[in-house]
Chain A
Amino acid sequence: MIPTVRRIVVRYSTFLILAALMLLFSLVSSRFLQVNNLLNIVDQSALLAIVAIGVTYTIISGGIDLSVGSVVALVGAVSAGLIVRAGLPVPVGILLGLVFGALLGLVNGLFVVYGRLQPFVATLAMMAIARGLTLLYTQGRPISGMGEAYTFFGSRLGPIPVSILVLLVVVLVSGTVLRRTPFGAYVYAVGGNEETTRLAGVAVSRVKLGAYAFSGLMAAVGGIILTARLWSAQPQAATGLELQAIAATVLGGASLMGGAGTILGTVAGALIMGVLANGLNLAGVSSYLQQVITGGIFILAVLLDMWTKRQKV
């Protein structure tokens, strides 16, 4: 039946675009489909995917989080600093880093909920503040020497990058929370119609606080992975990552108006960005031109998505 086909195309358009790009690049370069290259792509995309999953929560709830790039850098610096400078054990340093990230997210949420700031404004401020704190804390210089227990998160377990395993856990947990728990249902409901959700007796404030705290936590996970991969906390790490994360989320079918979006869609969106970067590299496209192409594909993908969705049954 035609409507069923259309439904599938609409629903899985992100995955279809991903598949089409992979097909295209496999024709361009024979190296593209090699297992090691594919693992590389996922490894490279995992950081973006994890951070974007956090952003997806805020976007579904009708908000946005622009601070994630800076939070990635700040959490990386603080966790590395706690271990290297303060001499804390690695697990404690990592754990405190994660808690710190969640707190930064919670602060975003507090300004959104109780300060009634627009999420764009609140998280834009946090983006500047967290980046500035990173520079202050690091004095603009990298922090390194955390030891192997830390850099493990940027290494491989046999052939499998650890970041992919972390991503799997994150997808499983965040997907289950979103699809199966009341909190997840309310994240959608708040984004779909906040007033109705409030009148239904749902504690809207707590739902929003939860979404922003979760976004901060995911950025923190990203911060640990990035710092581990680089063997050092870089003060300018993850600059601009927030925009990529938003792009991945939108590619994944989330609506910036709130109320819609999925975890797997966001992961596919992040993979599209990773496949593009990797494939264009293999094809020998200059990194300057790559940005142009990535932006163009982004627009095309979103147009295609809108276009298919508009053709309602």
Chain B
Amino acid sequence: MQYSLKMQGIHKHFPGVHALDDVSFDVEAGSVHALVGENGAGKSTLMKLISGSLVPDEGSIEVFGEAVRFRSPAEAQHHGISMIHQELTVVPERSVASNIFLGREPRALGGLFIDYRALNTQAKALLDRLDVRVDPTVPISELSIAQQQMVEVAKALSYNARVIIMDEPTSSLTERETATLFRIIRDLRADGITVIYISHRLEEIFEISDRVTVLRDGRTIRTDATADLDEDTIVSSMVGRTIDTIFPKREVEIGETILHVDGLSGNGFRDVSFSLRKGEILGISGLVGAGRSEMVRGLMGIDPVDGGSIDLFGQPVTTPRVAGMMRRGFAFVPEDRKEEALFLGMSVRDNLVVSLLSRLFRSGLIQYGRLGEVTAQYIDKLRIQTPSQGQLIRNLSGGNQQKVIIARCLALKPSVLILDEPTRGIDVGAKAEIHTIIGDLAAQGVGIIMISSELPEILGVSDRIVVMKEGRVAAQLDRTEATQDLIMQKAATGGGS
């Protein structure tokens, strides 16, 4: 058996952390090899060693039998290793072709000029090889995230990549786009290219991978053929304990209707009606681009609505605005944590209390003692893992960051909590904790609206499910009747009610 990658006895230390502890990682040439583990398990560090962003403290790396020690991503690329980052690294204003060949443009006239015609032709050839129909001359920002990802694959191929690392490639793709990506991955494998596939979505791993390596706390826990594993085994290897159910659903008494939305319309959604009751968890499902985020943003008063009515506790809300909605008891956890929820350069405490300040300190003067108490209370309540309140939030794991954002909302004592993809990019353990928090809130009588693209999550957590399609409500399903197939069918094809 030929190995494209052999790593032995890898150690990597960061100040105060033993990030990788005697890790071994072998990848068979021409296979799709999945790498799983909770956040902080060392996956990113390991991938950075392979792709040349970091150098190991100890241990050996062999690429196709050749011992290597990469000092830069360029060196790794030279050896045929390309990484596609979760956050795509494109130059938005430049054309698709310019992005693919950035730094290696074909030249004309003795190297003085860029040969744009050759650039576009070569880009076209690469995209054709992947069967991706994209005009190489348009700015890459005009492409969907999925298409941009395909372009990144084309870019990797342009480096003659023999190993392509994909970090959470499907996190913002629809099911259909995911299928296209998988088709491309299979084509790559058929061409003898090795794909290292990092994902939190276990069902994808079973669908696409040949072998799986599980990392936990910087150690290799196991490497096995995917066919020999089942979901429970992988999950328990990842978390080091058996989790009975990933989605612990609490039975909660559902009370009277608190929110009634009728015919709400705006940019990207049309004529959306539903109601929400005390203690109820309303799941909102649908493909990416179905208008789910747009709808809750309209409801929250973040984006303008141009029709319909919102009744809260029987009172009509006219022209919602975000600050006013929050005074009325709404709270919102946005989809894009980094861009919309976090102040990355601020402390855990300051992130947690930002919405609360004017309520807590009516005099207009901040009392830091009181602030510390409130923060400590929520850190404790939501079991947020942070060395101190003053820790910069960017140093926390995604799961803990998300808990801080949820704590920010809880501190407002909301009666309606809206969460947009609350567990995206969060590891399994933290995910279950967030589901527990959501369940507890519902038990306390908070009405909850949760958008999620993960069907098992929607099915596991919700009492009722609104399925959206092309900006409209395609179906409303009760917990008892909803299945993955039914939701998908409504989301993808289902019309009307």
Residues of chain A at the chain B interface (Cβ within 8 Å): 180-182, 185-186, 188-189, 191-193, 195-197, 199-202, 259-260
Say yes or no: A199 contacts B93, CB within 8 Å.
no
Taking the complex as formed, is B221 at the interface, i.e. its CB lies under 8 A from any CB of chain A? no
Specify which of B74, B77, B102 lies most central, judged by the most chain A CB atoms within 10 Å of its CB: B102
- Chain B positions within 8 Å of A, measured between CB atoms, are 73-74, 77, 89-94, 98, 102-105, 107, 112-114, 116
Residues of B within 8 A of A196 (CB): 89-91, 102
Can you list 18 contacts pairing A with B, beta carbon distance less than 8 Å? A180-B113, A180-B116, A181-B113, A185-B98, A189-B91, A189-B94, A189-B102, A193-B92, A196-B89, A196-B91, A197-B91, A197-B103, A199-B89, A200-B102, A201-B103, A202-B103, A259-B92, A260-B93
- The reply to whether A185 and B114 form a contact with Cβ atoms under 8 Å apart is yes
How far, in whole Å, are A195 and B105 apart by their CA atoms in the complex? 18
Q: How many A-B residue pairs have CB under 8 A?
A: 56
Q: Find A192's partner among B77, B91, B112, B113 (CB 8 Å cutoff).
A: B91
CB neighbours of B104 from chain A (8 A): 200-201
With A197-B102, A199-B73 as contacts: A181 and B112 at CB distance below 8 Å: yes
Chain A residue, CB-CB nearest to B107: A182
Contact residues in B for A197 (Cβ distance below 8 Å):
91, 102-103
Distance A196 CA – B101 CA, assembled complex (angstroms): 12
A188 near B113: Cβ-Cβ < 8 Å:
no
The distance in angstroms between the C-alpha atoms of A185 and B113, with both chains bound, is 10
Q: Would A185 and B93 be within 8 Å (CB), given that A180-B113, A180-B114, A201-B74 are in contact?
A: no
17 further A-B contacts with Cβ under 8 Å, apart from A185-B114, A186-B103, A196-B102, are A181-B114, A182-B107, A185-B94, A188-B91, A188-B94, A189-B94, A192-B92, A193-B89, A193-B90, A196-B90, A197-B91, A200-B102, A200-B103, A201-B104, A259-B93, A259-B94, A260-B93
Across the two chains, which residue of chain B brings its CB closest to A196?
B89
The contact of B102 among A191, A202, A260, by CB within 8 Å, is: A202
Residue of B whose beta carbon sits closest to that of A192: B91
Q: Which residues of A contact B105 (CB under 8 A)?
A: 182, 185
- A195's nearest neighbour on chain B, judged by CB, is B89
Most central of A193, A200, A259 by chain B CB within 10 Å: A200
Residues of B within 8 A of A195 (CB): 89
Complex CA gap A188/B105 in Å reads: 14
- Chain B residue at smallest Cβ distance from A184: B114
Q: How far is the CA of A182 from the CA of B104 in the complex (A)?
A: 9
Contacts of B103 in A (CB 8 A): 186, 197, 200-202
Query: In the complex, what residues of A have CB within 8 A of residue B107's CB?
Result: 182
Say how far A39's CB is from chain B's closest CB, in angstroms: 33
Query: Taking CB as reference atom, which chain A residue is nearest B113?
Result: A180
Chain A residues with Cβ below 8 Å from B89 are 193, 195-196, 199
Which residues of chain B are within 8 angstroms of A181 by Cβ–Cβ distance?
112-114
Instruction: Determine the chain B residues whose CB is within 8 A of the CB of A193 once the complex forms.
Output: 89-92
Residues of chain A lying within 8 A (CB to CB) of residue B90: 193, 196
Nearest B residue to A202 via CB reads: B103
Considering the complex of A and B, which 6 residue pairs feature the smallest CB-CB distances, nearest first? Answer: A192-B91, A200-B103, A200-B102, A196-B89, A259-B93, A201-B103
Nearest CB of B to A185, in Å: 6
Q: Closest B-chain residue to A60, C-beta based?
A: B93
Q: A185 contacts which chain B residues (CB < 8 A)?
A: 94, 98, 102, 105, 114
Which residues from B are CB-within-8-Å of A191?
A: 93
A182 touches B91 (CB 8 A): no
Question: Whose C-beta in chain A lies nearest to the C-beta of B72?
Answer: A201
For residue A180, which residue of chain B has the nearest CB?
B113
The smallest C-beta distance from B485 to any residue of chain A, in angstroms, reads 35
B residues near A192, Cβ cutoff 8 Å: 91-94
Complex Cα distance, B90 from A199, in Å, reads: 11
User: When chains A and B are docked, how far (Å) is the Cα of A202 from the Cα of B89?
Assistant: 14
